Amino acid sequence: MSAASVLSTDAEAIADRVEAFVREVVVPYEKDPRIAIHGHGPPEDLVVELRAKARAAGVLTPHILPGGAHLTQRDTAKVLIRSGLSPLGPVAVNTMAPDEGNMYLLGKVGSAEQKARFLDPLVRGEARSAFFMTEPAAEGGAGSDPSMMRTTCEMEGNHWVINGRKAFITGAQGAKVGIVMAKSQDGACMFLVDLPDPAIRIERVLDTIDSSMPGGHAIIAIENLRVPADQMLGASGEGFQYAQVRLSPARLSHCMRWLGACIRANEIATAYACTRQAFGKLLVDHEGVGFMLADNLIDLRQAEQMIDWCAGILDGGSLGTAESSMAKVAVSEALMRVADRCVQVMGGTGVSGDTIVEQVFREIRAFRIYDGPTEVHKWSLAKKVKRDFLKANAA
């Protein structure tokens, strides 16, 4: 994948094809009995089946163009929002986390050899990946504060030896490519590894509130993992620098996909309100219900505009750290309101598995924590407010 992004005049057409595929092919799979309710996500055979259909339809990895160039962030939003119209959509068309963020990172900073070995299978949808950063809270490991990282790496000959434990590692079960973060005496480091590896042991897959990500979220033990020196991304101590390259686009792509999910949930809630009668009239004609749906339209439009604004900042070449924090807070909180109202409008049906509305509610609740809780982003922004004020008013 080229390090440079390009503006695709065909982005809207790509998005239209993705939407048609998700609605016509993927949506019927939402009732597939192979799907677990919590934790582990869609099984591998279902992932392979869906991706085969996406490949045949020409919509696999649609945000990366033939030749390897990446769509601009604004154009990526058009595509990823449509892919999110079903919780299985990102899995089917290969726009899901953490693979989408990992592909972006490798496309930006990977060597030619690293791209050929680790990136190309991801782009082709033949492999899944995992990003090994966060660590168990009970052990004082890194979470929202990556400086707390306890996993270590030491040079032995022409290999690095890594030891530590990781937590909430999305997609580790079944992944073929891993990006492992550890700290050397120079600072944070990133390594590319082939999976599975006997030195990386899955202790357990957590039973979590969400269920859309293959492999779920695992607790991992890393014991004397030996990684050749040429599988380090960049140099020792540059890990946080590369994390920043990945951070804002990956944060924003979460907003894109889950906006699509809430658009779909609102469609379902609207259809319910416009066909269900109570107390002598349609639900939508009761002011309380109608106002909830009106509020949904407002929140969905504001979320879309926030994504577009932040995407424009990233397309301009900025890291967009503060802007992506603002977008993540605004979008996740707005979508939580939307998902909650959809459940409320639909009453008992909204809390059942008869539609995807209850799943969207669960996924969005988890989204408010993933890639940094709202409170961490606000704290970071408050620090920026103070820093900017002191700089502007320095004697």
DSSP 21-57: HIIIIIGGGGG-TTS-SSSS-S-HHHHHHHHHHHHHH
| pLDDT score for 3 | 35
Number of other residues whose CB lies within 10 A of the CB of residue 67: 8
| pLDDT score for 309 | 98
| pLDDT score for 6 | 45
- The DSSP symbol for 166 reads E
- The DSSP symbol for 116 reads I
| pLDDT score for 66 | 85
Structure token pair of residue 167:
């937590």
Judge contact between 253 and 332, C-beta under 8 A: no
Low pLDDT (below 70) residues in the chain: 1-9, 37-39, 395
Point out which residues pair with 181 in neighbouring strands: 190
- pTM of structure: 0.94
| pLDDT score for 7 | 46
Structure token pair of residue 220:
């991992």
Helix, coil or strand: residue 66: coil
Structure token pair of residue 154:
């030491």
Pick the closest to residue 41 from 359, 380, 383 (CA basis): 359
Pick the closest to residue 224 from 279, 281, 159 (CA basis): 159
- The DSSP symbol for 125 reads T
Structure token pair of residue 40:
């582990």
b/e burial code for range 283-317 (CB count within 10 A of at least 16 → b): bbeeeebeebbeebeebbeebbebbeebbbbbbee
Judge contact between 327 and 309, C-beta under 8 A: yes
DSSP H or E stretch at residue 162: strand 159-170
Judge contact between 148 and 182, C-beta under 8 A: no
